[in-house]
Structure 1
Amino acid sequence: MRENRQDTRSHILSVGRGLTARWGYSGVGLSELLKEAGVPKGSFYHYFPSKEAYGCALLTEFVTEYRDKLSATLAHPTLDARSRFLAYFAEWHRKQISAVPEDRCLVVRLSAEVADLSADMSTILQSGVNEIIAALADTLRQGIAEGSIAALDNPEAMAELIYHQWLGASLVASISHEDAPFKAAMRATQALIPPP
C-alpha cells in the first residue's frame, strides 16, 4: 500500500514538474494538474495539504535531484577541476536551450515568481542555490590546489558571482530567445577562472 501511495505522489510531482516547466507555478491550476495526472482532487489533498505544500514538495524533489546531478558533474573522475567547473556551465547552456522544457532549471524558471508567492518555497530555492554555490566554490578551491586554476582571492565570492552571472544570462536568453547570452557568460567565466 505504501509503495502505491509513493507512486501516486511521485506521479503527481512528475506531471507537475512538466507543467510547471512550461507554464510556471502560477500558470498551472490545480484542476489542470489533476486532469493531466489523472488523479481525483481528494487524492491530491491526501498527499499535499495545499497547493503551496505541493509546490514545496516539487521544489524539494527538484533540488535533491539537481544536487545529485551536480555532484556527478563536478566530481567527474577524468577531468581537472577547471574543466569540471566549465563543464557544469556548458551543461547549463545545453539544458537551457533544450526544446524540452523539463530539461530547464526550475530555479531559473521560478525564482522571481516564487519570491512573491511563498516564503517556504523561496527558502527551499535559496537553500538549493546555496548548495550549488558551495559546490562550485569547492571545485574552484580544488582547481587552485591542483594547479588547473590560477589563484583566486575569494573562491566563494567568485563562485557566487559566476552563478549569478549565469542566472542573468538565462533570463536574458529567455527574453531574446537566443543563446548569445550563454556564450557571453561562458567567455566571461573562462576569463574569471584562468589557468595559472
Structure 2
Amino acid sequence: MGVPEIRNVKQSILDVAKLLVSHKGFSAVGLNEVLQAAQVPKGSFYHYFGSKDAFGVALLDGYFETYLQDMAYIFTTTGLSERQKLDRYWQQWIENQTGETDARKCLAVKLGAEVADLSEPMRLALHRGTAGVIDCLSRSLSRGVQDKSVVLKGDAYHAGHQLYYLWLGASVMAKITGTITPFDHALSMTHTVLMSLP
C-alpha cells in the first residue's frame, strides 16, 4: 500500500470517527464501530494508530486544524472591520452548535470534560487546540483595538481567554437546557466585554 493510499485510509477513519464521536462521545464509540463504518478491516486499526489514545489525539489535532483554518478564513475576510469579523465568528459558533448535523459540532465542547481525566495525551491535544483558538481570538481583538472597532478595558490576550471560556460554557449550558438562551446571554456579555453596542 502506497503512502497516499495509507493517508487516505487513515483520513477516512478519522472522518467517520469524527461524526460518530460528535454524536455519541469518545468512550461510547468502539473501534469496531469506527472501522466498520469506514469499511476498513478490523485488524488494521493499529496499522494506522498506535493506540486508542493516539487515535484520539489524531482526531482532535485534525479537528482543530480544520477549525483554525475556518477561523483564519473569517478573520482574513476583506472589507469588514475586526468587530464585524468577530460578530461573524460568534454567529457561526451558534449555527454550528444549534444546527442539525453533528459534522461541525465542537469537539472541545463534546470531549473536554469526558477525556481530560481519562487520557493525558488527549488532554494535551485539547489544550494545544484551544490555546490556538484563544490566540487567534486574541490577535483579532488586538487588531480590533487598532482599527477602533473594538474597545477593551484590559488587554486583548486576557479578553480572548475570557470570551472563549464564556462561549465554551454557553455551549455546555445550551446542551443542558436544550435552548439557545445561553448563547443570547453569551452575545450580550460579549458586547459588554467589547465595550460597544451590537
Q: TM-score range by the shorter chain?
A: over 0.9
Q: Structure 2: any 5+ residue segments left out of the alignment?
A: none
Residue 127 of structure 1 aligns with which residue? 128
Task: Name the residue aligned to 1:32.
Answer: 33
Alignment of 1:162-181 (within 5 A): 162-181=163-182
1:149 has 2:167 as partner: no
Cα deviation code 1:74-130 (max 9, x no counterpart): 222121011111211111011000110111111111000110111111111111111
> Counterpart of 1:160 in structure 2: which amino acid?
H
Post-superposition CA distance 1:111-152 (Å, at most 9, x none): 001101111111111111111111111111111111111243
Amino acid across the alignment from 2:77: H
Amino acid at match of 1:126: H
Matched residue type, 1:9: K
Q: How many residue pairs were aligned?
A: 196
Separation in 2 of the partners of 1:49 and 1:173?
36
Instruction: Report % sequence identity.
Output: 34
Which residue does the alignment assign to 1:17? 18
SS in 2 for 1:102: coil
**TM-score, length-scaled by structure 1:** 0.96
**TM-score of the superposed pair, with normalisation by structure 2:** 0.95
Q: Indicate if the aligned counterparts of 2:16 and 2:38 stay in contact, CA closer than 8 A.
A: yes
Equivalent runs, 1:20-169 vs 2, <5 Å: 20-169=21-170
Q: Give the deviation of 1:194 after TM superposition.
A: 2.6
Q: In the aligned structure 2, how far is the partner of 1:128 from the partner of 1:145? A: 26
C-alpha distance in 1, partners of 2:146/2:185?
A: 27
RMSD of equivalent CA atoms? 1.3
Give the superposition deviation at 1:195: 3.7
Distance 1:118 1:87 in 2: 34
Q: Is the contact made by 2:152 and 2:193 (CA closer than 8 Å) also made in structure 1? A: no
Query: Aligned residue for 2:5?
Result: 4
Distance 2:28 2:152 in 1: 45
Q: Which runs of 4+ in 1 moved over 3 A?
A: none
